Structure 1
Amino acid sequence: MTAAIEPSAAALAADQAAIPILIFSDEARCVWANTQAEEWLGLSIRNIRKSRFGELSAVCAHLADIVDQACDARRTLVALGRPLGGAGLYDVHARWSDQHEQLALSVLPHQSMGAKASEAPALGFGRMLAHELKNPLASVRGAAQLIRRETELEGARDLARLIIQDVDRITRLADHWSRVGDIRLGEQSEINLNLLAVSAMESLNRADPATIGVLRENFDPSLPSINGDPDLLMQAVLNLIQNAFDAVRSDPGGTITVETRYDAGPRSRSSGHPTPLVLSVRDNGPGIPESLGPGIFTPFVTTKPAGEGLGLAFAARIAALHDGQIDFESRPGTTVFNIRLPIAKKDLP
């Protein structure tokens, strides 16, 4: 008897909700809307069903872009601070259900979250990640140590040494992720951005040989050094390069250029410090959907069918911890992410 009344009870609750809620099929067609959605859009569900949703109004067109992406990828997407007509901004949550093969779209007034609030969604994931990674990492490290000790081949010993270095770095990062809601900088040192970029590119080449020939470099050899946590900055750069490679992976002509340069203009949004040292990752992929916008840096916001939406959130947090920032520009055929960082104090004029 309980099972028989659950659907109608859920529908009644959704219909009486104070926010617009719409349900879309796996083909991105609107099949249901609550009363609040009908009033907000100025359309009845009967009229909505008669036409293609994206052609009904400018607001519907904006929402349809988000719905299409989520249905195509069969993933939940979140778009924050979207202008949807009238005064003010809105947060759009498109939640995909594998069980029902439907998408529930909810629209809420935009809320600007503080650092703690924005970090909360990733906290549980970070603890789980650290727990799940440490045992297999310890096993991999032990095997590499055994190879390094027993082999007589110099090349194998060098590879084992690289494996141990990468495992140690990942273990330290897992420790960082275990407290991601209150992440702290580790041991800091003087860092050359060019060498950091080269290390990241070489690491990715080892992990995925398909990146060889795709990655290019364009470095400013006179760039001053920075002070920072090399493990965290290395991972931030790796995340940006990996994202770029995912964007061009299926394109035979795909290219990624890692650049460094000096740009005296921007200042840190958090500290106001100058951030003239720039490391950029540029790709010629399809670009980032406009509907995601700045929300791309929010945990669990992703355009990848198999992604978790944590790489850019992590990179943005690491840049902020170094009194820097990340920004991006994107259009079809060109996307560039810029990590902007301050000069090491000893190198300041």
Structure 2
Amino acid sequence: MARLDIKRKRVALTRELARLKHDLQARELDLEIQCRAMQDTLGELEESRSRYAELYDYAPVGYLTFDAKGCITEINLTGAAVLGMERTRLIGMPMSVFIDKGSCQLFFTHLRSCRLTGKKVTTEVKLAPKNAAPIHAQIISMPLPGGKGYGSQYRSIIADITERRHMEQEMLRMDRLNLIGEMAAGIAHEIRNPMTTVRGFLQTFMRRQEFAHIQSQLDLMLTELDRANAIITEYLSLARNKPVDQSLQSLNKIVADLLPLMESDALLHAKWVVAELPDSLPELRLDAQEIRQLLLNLVRNGLEAMAPGGRITLRTAVEDNQVVLFIQDQGPGIPAEVLPKLGTPFVTTKEDGTGLGLPICYSIAQRHHAQIEIETGNCGTTFIVKFPYPK
């Protein structure tokens, strides 16, 4: 009997051990599945964190965090590139170091407004990046709540808006040109009618013997009338809605046909004009008369800027799906204070200039959907006119 009880207990124990072993194996399997799931989740979290870090670092705008004193506590790679320094060196530096002197007060007012209002504030400032030209930037800041309330930290976005400012200035300049052109178109007829009458009487007086003693004065009056008429014509060239006659033409042919006139004009002052024109150049939709006017204005500006012996080089090329015209002189360059004003009506450095030559060139370029760029230095100035391919 005792043996039977022992045998039964052994069987029960064996079954219990088997069950426990089965439960243990099941739990081990379950833990392994959970472990793998956790590893997968951690991998996904790491991948997500990596993607977020890349999005943060390589965003099209700079992300910064400032402390209460305006020092940088965090910045992404784009922001570091805008400021022109490595990210590690920027941490702890005052942002005011990179603000142009004229914009420092704006920046501190920007932070103060954030702190006082507790709301998003947007300000445009001028930045002075390290080892780079000053740029225009927009700063958008939002105060973060801290232990002492709002203003302990600021989360900010910084964006380079230099190109946008240039475009706005270009649009404003073109609007001024168009306004002057439209005004001129409206009054030109009314002005030219009496001028024609006066010119006719002057020519009649010049043929009469009793006015021979004031012949030189009459000649001067006629010359001044013709000059006034030429200025009116220049005004009309500024109008945006001026009719144009564009057709597919060769820019090289227009330059080549005009070259003898430009060469003779240069030789009169012991200067030179040379052309470097490639054999093949795509045809463009051009108004030949307007392109000739643009060429003459730019070349004559270059000739007037050079000393005797100087040379103007005309060159055409194809770059970035554009036909490009280069007009390079060997003058002293354009002063930095004058450069931003170029193309504005009545801005001139010549004693007898009207200040309409370059504005007319810009208007012609606009009507041809072209762009004018300027490179200048002590060794000369290059005007670059970029024409788009015809559609």
Report the TM-score, using the length of structure 2 for normalisation. Answer: 0.44
Instruction: Point out the structure with the larger helix share.
Output: 2
Q: TM-score, normalised by structure 1?
A: 0.48
**Which of the pair has more CA radius of gyration?**
2
Q: Which has the higher contact order (CA 8 A, sep 6+)?
A: 1
